[in-house]
Structure formats: C-alpha cells, structure tokens
C-alpha cells in the first residue's frame, strides 16, 4: 500500500492541526473528470487533474463516495465499504490518488455513509433471507406493520426523498412480511445503530481507509443514525434534513424522533477515539442540526473535528443576516474550542452562484427545473463571487464544491428524461431534485463534453453556457472567477487567515455594507445598491473588474485591503 508523503503537507504552525484552517475541495466523482470516456467521472480522471487543484491552492480533497455501489443514489448507497466502485476504478487507483495528491501536499478525505447501506449489501441480503427477529434482521430497522394484517407502515415517517420511509418485504414463504426503514430511497435500508455488530463493523471500516492513507472522513447524515426509542410518529413531516424547527431557539424545539438524537454523541466519541489512534486525521459531520448552539455540541473536543456550517450556507444575501450568522458561528464554535467551517455549495444544494440571485428558493434538495422562474445569471455570478470572497477571509476552515471556482451556475433546464436523482422519481417530478448542481464540470471551451470526457459522453447533459465557464478560458485571465479564487486562497494562506480572528470594522463603510478585519486583511462587502469609496489601504484583491481605477466599490462586490 502506498502512503502519502506527509512532509509535503502544509502546516502553517507547529501542532496547528491542519483541519482548523484547511480549504477542502469537494469532488463529486461522477462529474469531475472522466478518465476512460464512458461519461462518468472516475479516480484516474481525478488523478490526472491534480495539478489544476494544486494550482488552485487547496489543502485537501473530499471525494463523495468512491466505494462500491449500485449507484441508485450516486454512491450514497454502499454495497461494500471496503472496496472501490468499479465505475470509478480500483483500490490501486485509490492508492495512487492518495500518493500523487500527497506529493502535491493535498490530503484525501473519504465519504463514509453509515446511516444506511445499499440494498445490495451482503448484510441486507442476509436480512431478507432470514427470519423476523433474527440477528441478520437486527442489523437493520425491520418492524412489523400496523393494521390487522400488518399492512400499514410501522409509523408515519417520510423519506427525505419523498414518500413513505418504509418498504414491506415478501417473506420466504411468499407472504407479505415485515417492513424496513429507509430514510432515503428504498434501496438504502437504515442500519440499526443500537446493534453492537454494526458499531464494530464501522470501527473497522474507518481503520481500513485510515490504514490506506485517507486523511479522514466526511460522515454522511451523521445526525440521523440514532432513532428515538419506540420509533414514535413524527409531529410534522417536513422532509428537509434539518426538520421544520430549524430556525427555532434550542429550548423551543420539538424533540425530533430521528434527527439529532442525543445518542449520536456516543457514536461521535467512539469514532473520534478511532481517529485519534492515527496522526493528523479529521472527520467532518454532515449534521443538519440547528440552531448553531446545538451544532456546536458536535465539535466538542472528543467528538467531530468539524461540522458543515449549514446555517451559513442557508443564509440569504443580506447584510444583517450574514453578520448575525457569522457572529453566532464564531461564538458558538469557539465556546467548544472548535473552528467554524464555512460552506456555500455542495452536491445537495442549488449552486450558490444561482441560489443567491433569488429572494426565495425551493427547499433544500428540491432543485430548480425549467418550470421554475429562471435565475438572473449575471446577478447570481456577481453575488456568488462576492459571497466566496466574503467567506474565504473568515477564520476557520472552508469547503469549496467543484466548479464553484469557475463560477459555475446550476443547470436549471434539465429535462425530466435525463434526471437521475431519486427525489425526482419518488415525488413524480414534483421536486426536481439535485441533478442541476451535479452536471459534469467544463475543463475546456473547445473540446467535446467541455473536456470532461474525451469521447464527449457525459452522464448528465451540460448546458451550452458551460463554455463560458470552462477552466481553459479562465486560466491566466485577470478578473476571471478561477483567478479570483486562486488569489483569495493564496492570500488566505500567506496571511494565515484560517488561524486568525474576526474584528468588525463597520465604521469604515456606509450603513448597509460591512467590513471585518482578520489579521492585517480588511474584507469589505457591499450589500447596498450604491457604490462607495474604499477605506484606506492597499487593494489586495477584488471581485470587481476595474475597481483599481474607479476607486468605488459597487453593489454586490467585495474588496480585500491591506490595512
């Protein structure tokens, strides 16, 4: 097995714990780069493009699931946790990726999916073939149905992807039998996290990838593993992963039977102990728990290293709301000694370059289709770039989703016939789902499939507009989004902003805008609709073309100033 060359990894301060300040780039493997021309991105494709990521200046890559999977939910349905999905390559390809990334000082973070497996996982197949009440069934959430003949689901829970969260099986004797729980697609049965065998299995899976050189894990649906005893009905069936109470204060929350149960913290601690057996590894929770005071309990010193800041991601382009969520995040995370971890886009949400052009967007995970009011692309791009420049000056860690460094918009006109997200099918097209943010990214304006694949194949069609966003046309071009990101990341690293702290300097800007200082960098954000003169200091970088000569920062633009 090949191990990364640790010495290449940047560590700005001794013992600084790289993840505290890291910029982590999310790769959605199907859509990053296709190495063999079948139209689906793969590991050799990723490895061949590492130089582009090294140039961008990231510290680590998180790959959405690479593990073996029938791909009913694009890899979030794992059939073998210790092998690589053949569509993406082999374990050897993975080792090579870890090695080559390591040579460039880039760590590789795996995506672990512990809430559910694929229906094709050997354990689930065993469960189906076994008797009710058997040890094999007890690894998953099987229950008898309600009603005279057990014909009704055991409770009223709904799948995040729409429809009932239970599926009834046919027993070996050919009769309708028990039901199993699946919080997502019916091909994704939920594990029983009260079961010791399940716990031991995942300890072992963690070690498997850590031994292979993974720098850590992004943990899928980390807040959903434990279900309330007795599986009580849910009071409201909001299907977002945060639940409908997302914005209420902690003491007003209705206890939710499957999101954010207290029992999950024990699992968090168990995994932290496993990671602590190794040097320098980290795990980040996908935990849609609100408010931030509750989310912060996930990153206490013996639990996760990081958790995605979804409160920040879901904040509108509004000065007061942004300021409040930044303040609250920094305060709550520092209460427990953890860094905040900022994020604006990922493979489940509408790309922020599109999202921020709207006052109101569909609920998380629902997506935008051709029937929805179409976005103002120019406004979205302007605000998207501004939001990124605002975010990358903040102390803590940051996540970037592939393509956002190109300013890529959501594909909002995908036809139903090409959609693949289970959400679309489980809601009969009512919620179009997440395909629009998962379209293969453009590398070249002139090549077939915009350089994603040498054959021109692409598992989702790319819109023509992607030619305007191709990496080749932005590389080296002053003012392009790609060059903006490179400069932001370089300045962030040189000034150690990830390790810094935030001080508001709002007296330097007009009301309605904001400015904060991190070290010697002043970040000025114009949320107003009027230009204003920049505060004194050397201009380091700006989202605004021609600001140097104009001297006034326009609406929805950001400047970093040395002050």
Q: Does 93 bind ligand NOJ (CB under 6 A)?
A: no
Residues 12-41 that bind Ca ion (CB under 5 A): 34, 36, 38, 40
Number of residues near Ca ion (by CB under 5 A):
5
Q: Does 42 bind Ca ion (CB under 5 A)?
A: yes
Q: Does 310 bind ligand NOJ (CB under 6 A)?
A: no
Q: Does 221 bind ligand NOJ (CB under 6 A)?
A: yes
Q: Does 225 bind ligand NOJ (CB under 6 A)?
A: no
CB neighbours (10 Å) of residue 449?
21
Report how far Cα 303 is from the mean position of its chain's Cα atoms. 19
Least Å from the CB of residue 35 to Ca ion: 6
Least Å from the CB of residue 74 to ligand NOJ: 7
Q: Does 73 bind ligand NOJ (CB under 6 A)?
A: yes
Nearest to 419 by CA among 434, 408, 409, 406: 434
Q: Does 220 bind ligand NOJ (CB under 6 A)?
A: yes
Residues 420-479 that bind ligand NOJ (CB under 6 A): none
Residues 281-300 that bind ligand NOJ (CB under 6 A): 286
Give, for 487, the enclosing helix (H) or strand (E).
helix 481-494
CB neighbours (10 Å) of residue 374?
13
| b/e map 107-125, b = 16+ CB within 10 Å | bbbbbbbbbbbbbbbebbe
- Each residue 345-374 as x (binds ligand NOJ by CB under 6 A) or -, in order, gives --xx--------------------------
What count of Cα atoms within 13 Å lies in the side-chain half-sphere of residue 498?
A: 27
* Residue 187 or 557 having the CB closest to ligand NOJ: 187
Query: Taking CB within 5 to 8 Å according to partner kind, which of Ca ion, ligand NOJ, none is near residue 157?
Result: none
Task: Decide: helix, strand or coil at residue 521.
Answer: strand
3-state DSSP of 42-53: CHHHHHHCHHHH
* Residue 38 or 233 having the CB closest to Ca ion: 38
* Residue 403 or 409 having the CB closest to Ca ion: 403
Among 184, 217, 259, 466, binds ligand NOJ (CB under 6 A): 184
Residue 335 makes CB contacts below 8 A (sequence gap 6+) with 296
Query: Taking CB within 5 to 8 Å according to partner kind, which of Ca ion, ligand NOJ, none is near residue 220?
Result: ligand NOJ
- CA dist., res. 273 & res. 304, Å (int): 10
Catalytic residues: 220, 277
Query: Taking CB within 5 to 8 Å according to partner kind, which of Ca ion, ligand NOJ, none is near residue 184?
Result: ligand NOJ
Query: Cis link prior to 291 (omega < 30° from 0)?
Result: yes
Q: Does 540 bind ligand NOJ (CB under 6 A)?
A: no
Residues 100-139 that bind ligand NOJ (CB under 6 A): 113
- CA dist., res. 73 & res. 188, Å (int): 8
Least Å from the CB of residue 28 to ligand NOJ: 9
Pairing of β 176-181 and β 166-170: antiparallel
What count of Cα atoms within 13 Å lies in the side-chain half-sphere of residue 466?
A: 26
Return residues touching ligand NOJ (CB under 6 A).
73, 76, 113, 184, 220-221, 286, 347-348
Return residues touching Ca ion (CB under 5 A).
34, 36, 38, 40, 42
């Amino acid at each position: 097995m090949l191990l990364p060359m640790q010495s290449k990894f940047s560590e700005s301060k001794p013992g600084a714990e790289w993840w505290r300040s890291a910029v982590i780039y999310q790769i959605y493997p199907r859509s990053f780069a296709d190495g063999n021309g079948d139209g689906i991105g793969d590991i050799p494709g990723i490895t061949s493009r590492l130089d582009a990521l090294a140039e961008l200046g990231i510290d680590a890559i998180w790959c959405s699931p690479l593990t073996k999977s029938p791909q009913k939910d694009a890899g979030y349905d794992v059939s073998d946790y210790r092998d690589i999905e053949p569509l993406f390559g082999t374990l050897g390809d993975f080792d090579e990726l870890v090695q080559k990334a390591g040579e460039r000082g880039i760590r590789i973070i795996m995506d672990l999916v512990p809430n559910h497996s694929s229906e094709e996982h050997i354990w689930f197949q065993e469960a189906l073939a076994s008797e009710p009440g058997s040890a094999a069934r007890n690894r998953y959430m099987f229950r008898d149905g309600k009603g005279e003949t057990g014909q009704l689901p055991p409770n009223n829970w709904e799948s995040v992807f729409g429809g009932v969260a239970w599926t009834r099986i046919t027993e070996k004797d050919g009769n309708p039998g028990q039901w199993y729980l699946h919080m997502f697609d019916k091909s994704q049965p939920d594990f029983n996290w009260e079961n010791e065998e399940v716990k031991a299995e995942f300890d072992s899976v963690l070690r498997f990838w850590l031994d292979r050189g993974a720098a850590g894990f992004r943990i899928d649906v980390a807040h959903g593993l434990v279900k309330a005893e007795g599986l009580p009905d849910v009071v409201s069936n909001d299907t977002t992963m945060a639940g409908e109470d997302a914005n209420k204060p902690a003491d007003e929350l209705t206890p939710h039977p499957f999101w954010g149960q207290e029992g999950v913290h024990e699992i968090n601690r168990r995994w932290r102990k496993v990671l602590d057996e190794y040097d320098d590894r980290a795990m980040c929770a996908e935990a849609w728990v609100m408010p931030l005071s509750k989310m912060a309990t996930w990153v206490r010193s013996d639990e996760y290293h990081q958790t995605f800041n979804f409160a920040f991601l879901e904040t509108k382009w509004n000065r007061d709301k942004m300021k409040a969520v930044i303040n609250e995040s920094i305060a709550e995370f520092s209460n427990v000694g953890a860094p905040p971890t900022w994020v604006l886009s990922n493979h489940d949400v509408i790309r922020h370059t599109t999202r921020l052009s709207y006052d109101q967007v569909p609920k998380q995970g629902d997506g935008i289709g051709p029937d929805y009011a179409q976005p103002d692309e120019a406004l979205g791009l302007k605000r998207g770039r501004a939001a990124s420049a605002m975010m990358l000056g903040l102390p803590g860690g940051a996540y970037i989703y592939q393509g956002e460094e190109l300013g890529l918009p959501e594909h909002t006109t995908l036809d139903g016939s090409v959609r693949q997200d289970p959400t679309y099918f489980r809601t009969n097209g009512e919620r179009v789902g997440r395909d629009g943010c998962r379209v293969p990214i453009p590398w070249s304006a002139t090549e077939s499939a915009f350089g994603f694949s040498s054959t021109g194949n692409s598992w989702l069609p790319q819109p023509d507009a992607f030619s305007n966003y191709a990496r080749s046309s932005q590389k080296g071009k002053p003012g392009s989004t790609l060059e903006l990101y490179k400069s932001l990341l370089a300045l962030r690293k040189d000034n150690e902003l990830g390790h810094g702290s935030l001080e508001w300097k709002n007296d330097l800007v007009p009301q309605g805008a904001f400015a904060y200082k991190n070290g010697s960098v002043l970040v000025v954000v114009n949320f107003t609709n009027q230009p204003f003169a920049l505060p004194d200091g050397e201009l380091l970088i700006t989202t605004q073309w021609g600001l140097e000569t104009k001297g006034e920062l326009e609406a929805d633009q950001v400047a970093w100033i040395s002050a």
